[in-house]
A and B are shown apart, each in its own frame.
Chain A
Amino acid sequence: MQVLLLLDKDSQTNLSEDLHKKIVRTLESRGHQVDIYKLEKGEVFQCLGCLLCLTKHPDHCVNKDLINDLRKNVKQYSATFFITPVLFGHYSSTMAGAINRGTGSHDWQVFIGYGEDISVEEKQTFIDLVAKHRGAAEIVHPGMDRKVDVFVTMSPEESTHICEVLSYD
């Protein structure tokens, strides 16, 4: 299985680096090939909402950057992992550029939010924002994404636990 792993380069912390290494180790130990991209906010275009990727030229974004290249090739991936800081209960703007422009595998998407200063409400907001309406619970685009998982880590111990959960998938 080929996995796409996306990270927010401008928001790297000790916690995110530890998580990153553990996730890669977990995936590779199960025989998956992991393609890793560290996204920089100054280089990623945001989704314009023009919908031309749905209407005029499917699978191609009008903005030509790394995200467009990833989107074009997303069908080769069985899963996309988004590793993002949790900010106000939301993923970062850099990761929003990737998520909203279609880099998520339609088979399996895994969102892992991290941060050492996340309130209980922000943690739950992140989980609901990502998972409540997606995957099997999708009401707007039923059937589009088969499986969506979400986790939040605030410590290396929680990151280890997430990897244990993932190793059973």
Chain B
Amino acid sequence: MTETERKTVCIINGSLRGKNAASLAFARDLERYLPADVFETISVGVKARVKDRYPEATLKNIARADALVLIFPLHNYGLPGGLMRLLEEYYGYAKAGKDYKRAGVYVIVNCAFPRPAAVNGEVLRVVRNFCARLSLQWRFAVCIGTGPVVVMTRKVPFFYHTLNKAYADIARDILSEDLEEKKDYFIKPIIPEPIIAAIRRHYERSGKMIEA
């Protein structure tokens, strides 16, 4: 494949947890499905606080991508603020008349709740609305329940076949330029929900989120 035929994929890590982020682990996993001879991969991170604006070079990198993959943790059923800030600035950049590709958009969202289908619907609608505003091509989402648990256990053989299939599907979809709408993927953790709920309650009590 020649340099001009390679697809440019911009992976945006919307987590602010640095090397401890589940989103970073998912980004690294996805990169394994994007070989350098077929894809040029650009990584973009978000910041906890931006005094002025994101550098123009960051926005240009997003603008030249054939595909955007937003990987982020769910915050209060919505986008983390750092990622929201980046999308706001990118929207302003595009609306100011700067060139940008009508990229395909993919989402990998991880939440603290074990049932990803129950809580991710609204944040996916936000990203779809973002796509509609800029005429970007919404493709599909991979919704992961209890992200940190999946990160810890994702190497267990056979359990996360669907997750690996989703990564492969993203790579395949970018190359295919298919415009037909696809179904989202939902990944549940292998640890049973009652155990996860008990762990969560422990932290909620210790953090005084709920009464002891």
A→B interface (CB under 8 Å)? 41-51, 53-55, 58-59, 63, 87-94, 96-97, 99-100, 119, 121-122, 125, 128-129, 132-134, 139-141, 143-144
Contact = CB atoms under 8 A, between A and B. Distances in A.
Given A88-B133, A144-B209, A54 B204 contact: yes
Contacts of A100: 75-76, 80-81
Contacts of B132: 119, 121
Contact of B48 (A46, A54, A129): A46
Contact of A140 (B113, B133, B203): B113
B101 interface: no
Contacts of B51: 42
A54 to B, nearest CB: 3
A48 B76 CA distance: 13
Which 10 A-B pairs give the minimum distances between C-beta atoms?
A: A54-B207, A96-B81, A93-B85, A46-B81, A93-B84, A88-B129, A129-B122, A88-B130, A48-B16, A46-B82
Given A96-B79, A134-B77, A139-B119, 5 more contacts: A47-B80, A51-B203, A54-B203, A97-B81, A128-B121
B75 A144 contact: no
Determine the main DSSP class of A at the interface with B: loop
Contacts of A89: 122, 125-126, 129
B113 A93 contact: no
B152 interface: no
Contacts of B17: 48-50
Which range holds the interface residue count of chain B? Answer: 35 or more
Interface of B: 15-17, 21, 46-52, 73, 75-82, 84-85, 87-88, 91, 112-113, 118-119, 121-123, 125-127, 129-130, 132-133, 203-204, 206-211
25 contacts: A41-B50, A42-B51, A43-B49, A49-B16, A51-B203, A51-B207, A54-B204, A54-B206, A58-B207, A58-B208, A88-B87, A88-B126, A88-B127, A92-B84, A92-B88, A93-B81, A96-B84, A100-B75, A125-B126, A125-B129, A129-B77, A129-B122, A132-B77, A140-B112, A141-B210
B119 A140 contact: yes
A71 B65 CA distance: 39
A96 B75 CA distance: 9
Contacts of A47: 16, 75, 80-81
Contacts of A144: 204, 209-210
